[in-house]
Amino acid sequence: MNYGSTAFLLLVLAVAVLFAIVAAVIAFGLARWEGVAIPAALSRSAVAFAAALTLCLAVLAAVGR
């Protein structure tokens, strides 16, 4: 398998984005369960999305070397 192919890289990127979306949805749900208002819960989910995607891409960049 060619790990440098464009299709494989796009697949890995899509999996990283989906993982970040799942983390954001979980963060939103936990914030709403805690009783936080919707704008604050969206803010928490945005932070969780950004953190998860950054972590995924950092790990992928380190593994890709």
- Give the Cα separation of 59 and 14 in Å (integer): 15
pTM: 0.87
Dist CA 38 CA 32 (whole Å): 7
**Averaged confidence pLDDT in the chain:** 92
Q: Please say if the pLDDT value at position 60 is more than 70.
A: yes
pLDDT over 70 percentage in the chain: 94
Estimate to the nearest angstrom the gap between the alpha carbon of 13 and the chain centroid. 10
Q: Is the pLDDT of residue 6 over 90?
A: no
Residues 15-40 have pLDDT tens digits of 999 999 999 999 999 999 999 999 99
Residue 3 DSSP label: T
Q: What gap in Å lies between CA 48 and CA 27, rounded to an integer?
A: 7
